[in-house]
Amino acid sequence: MGKNLIGFYDSGVGGLSVLKVALNKIKNKNFVFFGDTLRMPYGARSAEEIRDYTIEAMGFFNDLGVDLSIIACNTATSYGLKKSNGTYDYPIIGVVKPGSENAVERTKNRKVALVATKSCVESGVYEKALREIDPTVELRSVYCPALTLAVESGDFEEEYVDGIVKKYIDEFGDYDFDTMILGCTHYPIVENSFKRILKREGKKVLMVDPAYQTVLDAMDILDINENEVEYKNRKIDFYITGDIKKFKYTMEKIVDLSSFEVNFHNVKIKDLEKYKK
């Protein structure tokens, strides 16, 4: 095993939605978070770029000695998970399979909606995952670039976010879905906006945040019991490629880390090049 650490990787603040779930369930680990904010949004990047960035981040975590890494980004999971697992020996999991399993469990009419980044939608990774679990499930997808950027900037004003969310929900037209996958880790941060808009439109929809099942899967791999005695003076180290001050501004609106020792470190892109495979 490593150094009693679990790593979380995302292009920006979205992965905090996964970290937030882990904080509530995992009491005997410290955490490290890698935010590649200098190169986000990943949704506009090529498949090769996303794969390379993911390999770099997993190599960075490997050197830190993590017990397990969570690719807390649907886009990076889509393009980087397979290569990462073929490159490194420690456990690396993504958010797509857990989210797909949860969606199949919850849907009653077998019609599922996906909101995600452009790259994630175009990868077809959710269609493949759902088809492998249950070929009868139908999926329709909408990519939501403006929403990702709004969350990243920390602009959570209700009227503004609701306006963005409504525009994307309207793109589903008359598709009669009963379950929606929040297929970008930024989106659970504004989940209430989705709930408000869907309720106003008279739709009863179950929301799937892949973070929950992903964290449970990590706990199974590491044999972690939710009832473990909480370690005192736990640490979270944030490694950010871009503006740390900007990251902290949005982070503080998303998650309360007052009970942790929190440290921030700037990572230079050139220093990640040694992890390229």
* Catalytic residue ranges: 73, 184
d(CA 105, CA 185): 20
Write the burial class of residue 127 (CB in 10 Å: 0-12 exposed, 13-18 middle, 19+ buried). Answer: middle
**Residue 21 CB coordination number (10 Å):** 21
| Residue 260 in tokens | 């942790």
d(CA 143, CA 172): 11
Task: Answer for the pair 47, 118: CB distance below 8 angstroms, yes or no.
Answer: no
| Residue 8 in tokens | 């979380």
In single-letter form, the type of residue at position 269 comes to: I
d(CA 50, CA 120): 11
**268 contacts: CB under 8 Å, gap ≥ 6:** 241
Paired sense of beta strands 30-35 and 5-10, if any:
parallel
Tally the residues of the chain: 277
Q: Tell me the chain's radius of gyration from C-alpha atoms.
A: 18
| Residue 171 in tokens | 């793109």
